[in-house]
Structures are given as C-alpha cells and as structure tokens.
C-alpha cells in the first residue's frame, strides 16, 4: 500500500496515509470561529446554527486525492479515517451537542454503482468518535443530478432545487439538533438543499460539517 498523498510505502498495519503527510494536513482553524468562511457561504441563504470544515483544499492541493480515492477508487477505509478525524475536531464543541448525525444522501442509482455513500462512511466515523447516533433514514435524494463540478454558483443552486426530501421514517420527529455531514463544500448548494428539507421538521436546528472546503 502507498500513501495517496506522497506515494511513499505505508509500513504500519491499517495505515491510511503516512504520518508525515498526516501531520502536514491543511487543517482549518474554523472550529471556534462562528463567522468562518464556510459559515459565511450560508449567510442570507439558509438558517443554520453553525458550519465547519476540517481541511482547506486549494486548487491543485496534493491532499485532494484523499477524497478522490474515497469517491472513485473504492477506498472505503478512507471515509472512516477522515470521519474519525472530523469527529475528533468536532468533539467537545457545539457540533457534538447534537441529537443525530445525518449524511448527505446519494441517489440510489449512484449508490448502487459506487457501492456505498462516501458521506455515510464519513458520518459513521464522526458518530463513532462523538457518540452521536447516526441516522441515515431522514433524508432521501429524489433526483440523480450528476456532477456539480463544471457548474457556476447559480447553476449549482438551480440544479439542487427540490432534490432532497424527508423520509417517511422522519415523520413525528421534532425539536432535534441535527449534524449534517458531507465530504466537501464548494458553493454550499447541495448542503443548502439538504438543510431546507431538514428544517421542515418541527423545531429542527441544523449544523453542517464537512471534511474539506474548496
């Protein structure tokens, strides 16, 4: 096995990236900054309690292969690894004082093709570290919208409108504080669409956390 960041051989059992690259990861300092750039993405758009990203990915970052390996190369352990790292950052913060961890859902067709939902794996890692129950049956995805990569901000928002809905299992839920998990946030359109649906639950409050912001 090789480190997906630097390409060096991994020597330790269960090692996901090498220790040197792990120590140099581009961590943000957003956890105790309520007005951080990720939170600002949602200002004037949707009412959330807080937003956080663990890592900052600049264009061409050598750490971007971490998410590429997770999403496109079947490296499911990467999702749990990144989720645990995210959970450690969230622990003992306001993000850990929530009732449920909810991942952004994939469309069933895309999940069948990929074999898993990368956001669910990250959410599992977060739940494991924080002790917050994981609930994957609150949101569902109505449409398979395809990649957002080449769309501008307005096109991304338009593409995500009415994409997500509440599962039948969510009926009767009220007064919940929900931690919504995704892999990466760019314009925030996908997360905004999810939050819009979650806020239809009576008394719901939503916080957002992602592995990376780009």
DSSP the chain: -B-TTT-PBP-STT-SS-HHHHHT--B---TT-TT-HHHHTTTTT---SEEEEEEE--TT-TTTHHHHHHHHS--HHHHHHHHHHHHHHHTTSGGGS-SEEEEPPPPHHHHHHHSS-HHHHHHHHHHHHH-PPB--SSEEE-S-----TT--HHHHHHHHTT-EEE-GGGTT--S-EEEEEEEEESSSHHHHHHHHHHTTSTT-EEEEEEEEE-
Question: What per-residue confidence (pLDDT) applies to 152?
Answer: 55
Question: What per-residue confidence (pLDDT) applies to 159?
Answer: 55
Question: What per-residue confidence (pLDDT) applies to 166?
Answer: 96
- Tens of pLDDT along the chain (214 residues) come to 899 999 999 989 889 999 999 999 999 999 999 999 999 999 999 999 999 999 999 888 999 999 999 999 999 999 999 999 999 999 999 999 999 999 999 999 999 999 999 999 999 999 999 999 999 999 999 876 655 455 555 455 455 668 999 999 999 899 999 999 999 999 999 999 999 999 999 999 999 999 999 9
Which domains can be identified in the chain, with CATH numbers? Answer: 19-213 (3.40.50.2020)
Question: What per-residue confidence (pLDDT) applies to 161?
Answer: 67
């Amino acid at each position: 096995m090789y480190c997906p960041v630097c390409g060096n051989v991994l020597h330790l059992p269960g090692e996901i990236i090498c220790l040197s690259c792990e120590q140099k990861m581009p961590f943000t300092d957003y956890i105790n900054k309520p007005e951080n750039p990720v939170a600002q993405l949602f200002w004037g758009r949707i009412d959330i309690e807080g937003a956080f990203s663990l890592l900052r990915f600049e264009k061409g970052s050598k750490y971007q292969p971490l998410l590429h390996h997770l999403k496109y190369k079947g490296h499911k352990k990467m999702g749990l690894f990144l989720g645990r790292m995210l959970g450690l950052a969230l622990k003992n913060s306001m993000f850990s004082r929530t009732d449920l961890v909810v991942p952004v859902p994939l469309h069933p067709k895309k999940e069948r093709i990929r074999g898993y939902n990368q956001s669910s794996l990250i959410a599992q890692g977060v739940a494991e570290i924080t002790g917050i129950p994981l609930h994957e049956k609150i949101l569902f995805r109505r449409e398979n919208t395809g990649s957002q990569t080449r769309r501008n901000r307005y096109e991304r928002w338009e593409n995500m409108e009415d994409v997500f809905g509440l599962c039948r299992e969510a009926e009767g839920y009220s007064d919940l504080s929900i931690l919504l998990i995704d892999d990466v946030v760019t314009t925030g359109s996908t997360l905004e669409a999810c939050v819009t649906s979650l806020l239809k639950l009576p008394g719901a409050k939503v916080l957002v956390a992602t592995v990376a912001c780009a």
